[in-house]
Amino acid sequence: MKKIGVFICHCGINIAGTVDVKAVSRETGEMEDVVHSEDYIYMCSDPGQLLIHNAIREKGLDGVVVACCSPTMHEATFRKAVESEGLNPYVCEIANIREQCSWVHQGDKERATSKAGEIIRSVLEKLRQNEALETLTMPLTKRALVIGGGIAGITASIDLADSGYEVILVERQPSIGGRLDQLSLTFPHLDDARCILGPKKAEIANNPKIRVMPYCEVEEVKGFIGNFDVRIRRKPTYVDWDKCTACGVCLEKCPVESLSDFERGLTTRKAIYTGALSENSGKPVIDPIHCRHLVDGTCTICQEVCPEGAIRYDQGEELLEERVGAIVVATGYDLFPMEKIGEYGYGRIPDVIDGLAFERMLSPSGPTGGEIRRPSDGRIPREVVFIQCVASRDPERYMPYCSRVCCMYTAKQAKLLKQKIPNSQPYIFFMDVRTDSKGYEEFLQGAIEEEELIYLRGRVARVFQEGDKVRVWGEDTLTNRKVELDADMVVLATAVVPSEGIKDIAARLRATADKHGFLTEAHIKLYPVESPTKGIFLAGCGQGPKDITDTVAQASATASKIQSLFSQDALLQDPLVAFVDPEICSGCGICVQVCPYEAREMDEYRGISKVHEALCQGCGACIAACPNNACELRNSKAVQVFGMMETFAEGAEGSLADG
Amino acid sequence: MEEFEPRIIAFLCHWCTYTGADLAGTTRQQYPPNIRIIHMMCSGAVDTIYILKALIDGADGVLIGGCHPGDCHYQTGNYKARRRVGILKEIFHQVGFTEDRIWLRWISASEGKLFADTVTQMVEELKKMGPNPMKKLWLA
Ligand SMILES: Cc1cc2nc3c(=O)[nH]c(=O)nc-3n(C[C@H](O)[C@H](O)[C@H](O)COP(=O)(O)OP(=O)(O)OC[C@H]3O[C@@H](n4cnc5c(N)ncnc54)[C@H](O)[C@@H]3O)c2cc1C
Ligand code: SF4
Ligand code: SF4
Ligand code: FES
């Protein structure tokens, strides 16, 4: 750059009251390559900006420094001004002489003035080596993939489709709905889960923009934000869904039964079954592990009874390729496998069940038709013990975190128990009761008062079978007494954990997950619904345990982030990103490891590293880590930083000489 | 003889400490004009070479400012900075230079006063230490 103009702002008296702007202007006018130097009372005003326009026109400036307030205030203003004169916006730089000079050194005008001069000189050093840069533009596929059809995935899909974008909703179960399908009434208003979910499912079915892909899984994801190439595997259902009318005859006649996952093992299902079994709605799939035909060919009953001839024992899997611009991960949760917890007898004692099983019992569509009955003998229980924080908040042995929904659903379940069986007595063992959302504390207090719930603060030490009772040994730490209860049934509020296979999904998406498998955000406060991997968004319990309200709010937030992404014509990216000098790079790969955004990758052919500009956030981590100084940030190259430092050090010489 | 006025070169991350330094200005916190600030996107982008070069070029102290742990805009840049500065200080210690000329501080965008106080304090400490001998040693 040979023709640089420097413009020094007085900012009224904000700068000029402390810094001798005239002196600084004279000094900068003497600096190398500076062909124009002037000061003005308000540079950001129209007449101020006009000075820049005129100087560019009259003197043919090829670089501009404005010495004024912080770049966070007016960098954009002055870059725009420069751009309108046909210069590249990146040849304009700001020298911060207000926030970081005049305002903080009001008592020392002399030194503030020489500091301001040095700041301008250092910015000149940087500017000399700036490149003219263009905003990066990349094509954008305005279609989203949503993984997981729980309430999170459903909400995000509907929001996106309503704003006109196509959505592919992939669900690995035979039907969408997720855990909400298993719940009974929901806290805090006790509305039926079906009444929340039903209309949403109908909306999905009637929305032509949403393509639901049940019984499918995401196999492979390539590409980047704006253009991901996704391979989706449709698992064989062994039923031709185009022909099937969901009449349910096959389900009736199939002779093979196994425990139903959906009903949490409270009842059985057939080898041919539908997603939400109890409803007999939706189209069925055949479970290849239990189906006699698929195991050893000894049965063809469903094929015989199907009036539509829809059974296809030889159906194979299908692979589909789709291109999408953004991906929502809404894979939800499982409950901590209770078999792994020795002390509560789950799996060994039939009358010890988990929270979801109890939801099924409470649900009118559940295996007991909404009646609460002991799994062992079908008797109606009287004394029911609820244990909270099972495997949650237990850093030594299980999960250190709070599962967030258990306090509330336990209160809800105990209340519903009392309403269904008025002479029953619920006992609740707890550590703390956390009711941190709107209406939750009121719900809890109401339940305790109206239903006479007994809350016992303390951990349960042992649960064991004695006769037809389940004996519970615990303690009440508030009264410091041992508690022994003979219960008819025990309900465990077990930890919420990420869905099985989350780590594989995360790896496929190059998204990050914490040590428990919950997906991590780009920033917990600033970018809570974005994954660090650009173009991947989060919703629901896959990101962390939460209730329905928070799940829906998060899913809508995610959808709106994608809407603003898709509202652009093309992907625009700040060009201040990393680049590699292929002559110097040794291919050590350190940069690939340090980049938090998966923006660095090895070029297998050339044996050196490259930068995916669409993903790079310009943080500079790779630059500092590169042992060969082979990569740099555009317009913040090491020589530029060195240049600035030397200016400051020369200043030091001066002051030492003075001293 | 005039009092020794130390020179500080500061590398401040865009999202926290640079903005915190701006806030010091907006709220008119006063600190001595011995500091020169270089804007970085993140404390994790501060190469050890920068720190060394600043000291060899004649700075009496180097301040690296980043977001508080857990708050880095790029997730982990400040942890990278912490490790890097830790190692550099250890090397300084081993070869007999005082590592106290290198300050790594977490100062958020809302801690303008902390920024001003930090600079004031650093200037005082450096005055006690006297001029940085590294430059002379390097040239010798
Ligand atoms: C016992 C119990 C009671 C509760 N009661 C209440 C209540 O009363 N009120 C309340 O507000 N909240 C309640 N909750 C919490 C509530 O269940 C959740 O907030 C909500 O269901 C979360 O929805 P989701 O979409 O994030 O996850 P999920 O409902 O788990 O949905 C995730 C979906 O993704 C699918 N999936 C997973 N992995 C993949 C994959 N790899 N590929 C494709 N699909 C995949 C799953 O099959 C599932 O359909 C309760 C929770 C429990 C455990
Ligand atoms: S760290 Fe530097 S040398 Fe190593 S691969 Fe990356 S760019 Fe190349
Ligand atoms: S500057 Fe940051 S985001 Fe860009 S490639 Fe380097 S480490 Fe990754
Ligand atoms: S952005 Fe402030 S330390 Fe990384």
Mean pLDDT of A302-320: 96
Q: Would you say residue B137 has pLDDT above 80?
A: no
Q: What angle do CA A236, A239, A245 make, to 5 degrees?
A: 140
The DSSP secondary-structure symbol of A311 reads B
| A136 or B118, higher pLDDT | B118
Q: Answer whether A105 sits within 8 Å of B30, measured CB to CB.
A: yes
Interval A151-191: pLDDT, tens: 999 999 999 999 999 999 999 999 999 999 999 999 999 99
What residues contact residue A544 under an 8 Å CB cut-off, 6+ apart?
A: A401, A404, A518
With a pLDDT cut of 90, the percent of chain A lying above it is: 88
pLDDT at A546: 98
Give all strands (DSSP E) within A298-453, no chain letters. 318-324, 326-329, 333-335, 352-354, 383-390, 425-430
Interval A87-134: pLDDT, tens: 999 999 999 999 999 999 999 999 999 999 999 999 999 999 999 999
Q: Would you say residue A339 has pLDDT above 70?
A: yes
pLDDT at A656: 35
Interval A103-116: pLDDT, tens: 999 999 999 999 99
Q: Would you say residue A444 has pLDDT above 80?
A: yes
Mean pLDDT of B76-93: 95
pLDDT at A654: 46
Q: What span, in angstroms and rounded, lies between the C-alpha atoms of A610 and A581? A: 9
Q: Answer whether B73 sits within 8 Å of A526, measured CB to CB.
A: yes
Q: What span, in angstroms and rounded, lies between the C-alpha atoms of A149 and A275? A: 12
Interval A512-553: pLDDT, tens: 888 899 999 988 888 899 998 889 999 999 999 999 999 999
Mean pLDDT of A225-242: 95
Q: Count H helices, E strands: chain A?
A: 17, 34
Q: Given pLDDT bands bounded at 50, 70 and 90, which one contains residue A281?
A: low
Q: How far is B28 from chain A (nearest CA, A)?
A: 6
Closest ligand to residue A175's CA: 1
pLDDT at A223: 81
Q: Would you say residue A393 has pLDDT above 70?
A: yes
Q: How far is A120 from chain B (nearest CA, A)?
A: 11
With a pLDDT cut of 70, the percent of chain A lying above it is: 98
pLDDT at A196: 93
A617 at the B interface (CB within 8 A)?
Answer: yes
Phi/psi region, residue A372 (left: phi>0; alpha: psi -120 to 50; beta: rest), is beta
For chain B, what are the domain ranges? 8-129
User: Are A335 and A495 in contact, with CB atoms under 8 Å apart?
Assistant: yes
Which protein residue's CA is at the shortest distance from atom 4 of ligand 2? A588
Taking the model in full, what pTM does it have?
A: 0.78
- List B residues 9-48 in contact with A (Cβ-Cβ < 8 A): 9, 19, 21-26, 28-33, 36-42, 44-48
Mean pLDDT of A456-485: 94
Mean pLDDT of B102-124: 97
pLDDT at A75: 95
Q: What span, in angstroms and rounded, lies between the C-alpha atoms of A656 and B131? A: 9
Q: What span, in angstroms and rounded, lies between the C-alpha atoms of A409 and A187? A: 7
Q: Given pLDDT bands bounded at 50, 70 and 90, which one contains residue B140?
A: low
Count CB atoms within 10 A of the CB of residue A286: 25
Q: What span, in angstroms and rounded, lies between the C-alpha atoms of A188 and A278? A: 25
The matching CATH number, chosen from 1.10.3470, 3.20.20, 3.40.50, 2.20.25, for B8-129 is 3.40.50
pLDDT at B1: 53
With a pLDDT cut of 70, the percent of chain B lying above it is: 98
pLDDT at A646: 93
Residue A236, CB-side half-sphere exposure with 13 Å CA sphere: 13
Question: From the candidates B11, B47, B139, which should be mutated to test the interface with A, based on the most A CB atoms within 10 A?
Answer: B47
pLDDT at A277: 46
Mean pLDDT of A199-223: 94
Ligand 2: list residues with CB < 6 Å: A 580, 585-591, 608-609, 626, 628, 630-631
Q: What span, in angstroms and rounded, lies between the C-alpha atoms of A118 and A105? A: 15
What residues contact residue A479 under an 8 Å CB cut-off, 6+ apart?
A: none
Give all strands (DSSP E) within A296-396, no chain letters. 318-324, 326-329, 333-335, 352-354, 383-390
User: Are B35 and A613 in contact, with CB atoms under 8 Å apart?
Assistant: no
A638 at the B interface (CB within 8 A)?
Answer: yes
Give all strands (DSSP E) within A235-350, no chain letters. 257-259, 268-270, 272-273, 285-286, 318-324, 326-329, 333-335
Interval A483-514: pLDDT, tens: 999 999 999 999 999 999 998 999 889 788 88
Q: Given pLDDT bands bounded at 50, 70 and 90, which one contains residue B138?
A: confident
CB-nearest partner of B33 from A111, A620, A659: A111
What residues contact residue A119 under an 8 Å CB cut-off, 6+ apart?
A: A67, A95, A96, A97, A100, A101, B36
